[in-house]
Amino acid sequence: MSAFTSLFKLLFKLGLLASFALLLALTAAYFHYSPKLPAVDTLKDIRLQTPLRIYSSDKKLIAEYGEKRRSPITYTEIPPQFVNALLAAEDNRFFSHFGIDIKGLTRAAIQLATSGSIQSGGSTITMQVAKNYFLTRERTFSRKFMEILLALRIEQELSKEEIFELYINKIYLGHRSYGIQAAANVYYGKNIKDLSLAQLAMIAGLPKAPSKFNPITNPTRAAERRNWILQRMHFHGYISDQELEDASATEVTAKYHTSDIQLRAFYVAEMVRKELHSQYGDNLYTDGYQVHTTIDSRLQNTANQAVSDGLIAYSERHGYFGPEQQWDIQTLTQEEQLAKLKKVTTFGILQPALVVSTSKETADVLLKTGETSTIPWEGMSWAKPYKSVNRVGKAPAQTSDILKPGDIIRVKFTEERALLSQIPRVQGAFVALNPDTGAIISLVGGFNFTHNKFNRSTQAIRQPGSNIKPFIYAAALNEGYTTASLINDAPIVFHDKKLEGNWRPENYSKKFYGPTRLREALYKSRNLVSIRLLRSIGIKAAQDFLELAGFDRNKLPNNLSLSLGSADITPLSLVTGYAAFANGGFKISPYFINKIENSEGEVIFEAAPKIACSSCSVTATETETENDLYAPRIYDEKVSFLTYNMMQDVIRLGTARKALILKRSDIAGKTGTTNDQKDAWFSGFNRDYVASAWVGFDQPTTLGRREFGGTAALPIWIDFMKEALKDMPENAPAVPEGIVSVKIDPKTGKLAYPGQGDAIFEYFRKENAPTGYATPESTGKNNATEEIF
C-alpha cells in the first residue's frame, strides 16, 4: 500500500469523523434551539402595524395617523415585473429552494472562516421573513441557526406566494415606509401597480440598504443599484434588450410624497381620533382601522372655502395689519431668500410671499415655488391701515403706502392673479347636518387647523344672541300664542336689586314700534317683543322647550336675558336644535362616524341613527321597537311648521334678505348678534340641510359697529347653501293637517274686514284662528315706557 493511499484513507476517515461530529453538533443544536422556536402558524394570522386612516363618506382620505406608513397588499396585486425585480436582487432561486439556499450559505460560511466575521448572511426571502417577524437583527451564529430552522418550518406551513406576500408587506424601505405599496406612495405618489419598470427596479433595490440606496437622499447610488438589478433581470430573461436600455436611461424622478390627503377636514379627523383613542388606546395607530365618516367631500370643500372667504373678507373690511415680517433682502442672496421663505407656513389659500420690488401701482413678489408674481393695484388698494375694529387709516394712494421690499406678506390667487391678503385675527365655525339623521355633512372649526387647532364648532361656548329667538317664539306658539298675536314693542325698564343697575333693553335700531305681530317681530328681530313674550310664557316654559332640543339647562340663564340669547352654547348644539324646525319637530343626535373597519376590511361598527320621520312605512322588527328606529318627537308638528314659516320671512322680508340671492322659497333661518357685536350668527335650513355659521374673536371682543349676523356670518351660510342646494328641487315642509290660512288685518292680527285692501294671509292652528273682525280704525301705537319693579 502506497503512502498516498494510506494518507487518502486517513483523510477519508477524518472527513467521516468530522462529518459525524458536525452531524452530532447540528443535531444537538437542533434539539437545543427547536423548543425555543416560535409557532410558525401565527404568521397566518399576523397583524402588521398599519396606520389609522380616516375617510369621507365618498372614500376621500382625510387623515392618516401612525408612525409607520404601510398599505398591505395581496400577492395577486403585486406587478409581475416587481416579483422578477425582487428575485433578481434578493433571491433568484426563491421558487425552487426549500427555504435555504445552500450556495448562499456556503458563501457566507467561507466568508466567516476566512475573515472571522459574517460579511453576508446568505439569507433567502424565507429566512428574511423568519428574521423580520420572529428574530432580532443581531449578527450571531445562534440567531442565524434559528433563522434557518424557522425558514424550513415556514416553507412547510406556507406557500411561496404567502411567504413572498409577508415579505413585501413587512420590509422597511425608508422614509417611514413599510412595504412596497407604501414605498410606491412615498417615492412616487402612486400605487405599486402604476409604476414603470425603472421605478419597480428602484423599489426592489431598497431592502438591501434603504438609506444607502435611497433615491431621494442618494440618487446616484440608487441609480447604480437600480441599473444592476435591471441587468440581473436581463440576464435571467425577465426583460428585453430594449427594456434594459430604456429603463437604465431613465432619470431618477423620486421625491418625497406625504400621505395622499384628498380632503381638508382636519377638525373632523381630530374629533374621530380623540373619540376612538378613548376606546382603543394606542392600538388605534397600529391596528389598521379604517374609519368612514359622514362628511360629504364636495360640501366639506365648500364649507372650507366659505369660512375662509368669509373671515378674510371681514379682515380686509377692517384694514391692513401690515407685513408679518420685514427682511433686509440686500443682505440675502436669491437662494437664501427662497430657502428662508420656504420655512414660512402656508395657511389654506394664503401663501407667504416676499416683496422683492415695487412700482407706483404694482408689487413683484417671490413665492415659495421659486416663481415670481405681480400684485396689481386693484389687488391691494383695499389695504387701508388698520387702527381698530371700528377705525381704519387713510386710503393708500400708491404701492409704497402699503408694501415695501423685504415685506413678508400673504397672497391669494384669483384667476391666476396674485392679490394681497392677510391672516385673519377673527375666527369662525360652520356645521351642516342632515336634519333627518343628524349626520354631520361638513364641519369647520376655525380659519385653519394648522394655524389653530381649537375646534370652535364643538368646543367654543358662546352666546347665540337673537339666534335663540325662534325657540322662544315656538315656545309661545306652544303655549297658545299665534303668529298674529300682538306684543307691544315699547321701552321697558327693569329695577332689580340683584342687578348692578337698572336694565334698559333696546332694539338695535334704538326705535320702538308699538303693538307688533309675532311674525313681524321675529323677522325684524325686535328685542322688546322677545322679552315681553318670554315674560308672558314664563322662563321655565322656555327653558323646558329649549332643553327638549338638547340644550344644557344648566347653561340657560334663569332670567329674561334668555330671550336675547345670553345662554352658553356651541355651534354644534345650536344647529342640532335648529334641526327640529327643519325636520318637523324631531330630536336628532349628531354623529360623524358612519362605520369602522378593521385591517381585514370587516365592519366592526356601523352607525344606526334614529331617523326623524312622521309617516315612515318601516316596521320595527321583533327585537326593535319604534324607539330604536325613530327619533323622538319633541315639538308639535304644527308648531314646528309655523316657526319654519315665520323664519322664511326672515329671508324674504327681514334681517337675512341677502339670502334672496339664492332665489329659493324653501329656505328659512335667523340671524343672531350679541351685545357689542361680540358674536355674529346665522342658522338656516330647508328640509335637506340645516347649517349654522358663527364669527367672533376667541377672546370675546367687539367685531365692530357695522358687523352683525347678517353681515359677518350670513355670507358664509349663503356660499355654502349656493353649492349644497345647486340643482336640487325646492323642499319646504307640506302644510300639516290642522293648519289653516286666514286673511287678516296686518295691524291688529284679527280677521280682515270685507274689502280691506291691505289684508294679508296668515297661517294658524285651526283651534287658534281669529274669529273677530278688525275695524277700519286700526290699533294705534303705544310707546309708553313700562317700568317693572
Q: Which residues are catalytic?
A: 90, 466
Q: 3-state DSSP call for residue 152? A: helix
The per-residue DSSP string of 352-420 comes to: EEEEEEE-SSEEEEEETTS-EEEEEGGGTTT-PBEEETTEE-PPPSSGGGT--TTEEEEEEEETTEEEE
The count of other CB atoms within 10 Å of the CB of residue 435 is 27
User: 3-state class of 74 per DSSP?
Assistant: coil
Kindly provide the residue ranges of all beta strands, DSSP E only, lying in 609-722, ordered along the sequence. Answer: 668-673, 679-685, 690-696
Longest CA–CA separation in the chain, Å:
151
The three grid cell numbers given for residue 262, joined into one nine-digit string: 384628498
SS3 breakdown of the chain: % helix, strand, coil, rounded to 5? 40, 20, 40
The CB density around residue 759, as the number of other CB atoms within 10 Å, is: 17
543, 553 contact by CB (below 8 A): yes
C-alpha 281, offset from chain centre: 21
Task: Give the residue among 378, 526, 422, 424 at the shortest CA–CA distance from 466.
Answer: 526
Q: Cα-Cα-Cα-Cα dihedral of 685, 691, 696, 702, to 10°?
A: 10
Three-state secondary structure of 427-490: EEEEEEECCCCCEEEEEECCCCCCCCCCCHHHHCCECCHHHHHHHHHHHHHHCCCCCCCEEEEC
Give the residue among 704, 657, 716 at the shortest CA–CA distance from 679.
704
Q: Which residue has the cell 357695522?
A: 706
Cα 326–chain centre separation: 34
CB 584 within 8 A of CB 735: no
Nearest to 748 by CA among 716, 781, 789, 699: 781
Do 126 and 160 contact (CB within 8 A), yes or no? Answer: no
Phi-psi region of 503 (alpha: psi -120 to 50; beta: other; left: phi over 0): beta
Neighbours of 746 (CB within 10 A): 17
Q: Compute CA distances 501 → 201, 495, 498, 557, 786, whole Å.
A: 81, 8, 8, 18, 17
- Check: CB of residue 685 under 8 Å from CB of residue 691: yes
| Distance in angstroms (rounded) separating the CA atoms of residues 475 and 494 | 23
Burial class (CB in 10 A: 0-12, 13-18, 19+), 243: middle
Residue that the C-alpha cell 343626535 belongs to: 589
**Pick from 479, 350, 369: which is nearest to 422 by CA?**
350
Nine cell digits for residue 305: 372655502
437 in Cβ contact with 391 (< 8 Å): no
The answer to whether the beta carbons of residues 738 and 752 sit under 8 Å apart is no
The helix/strand/coil state of 163 is helix
Dihedral of alpha carbons 412, 415, 416, 417, sign: negative
Q: Following DSSP, what letter does each residue of 705-741 receive, concatenated?
A: TT--IIIIIHHHHHHHHHHHTTTPPP-PPPPPTTEEE
Burial class (CB in 10 A: 0-12, 13-18, 19+), 23: exposed
> 700, 729 in Cβ contact below 8 A?
no
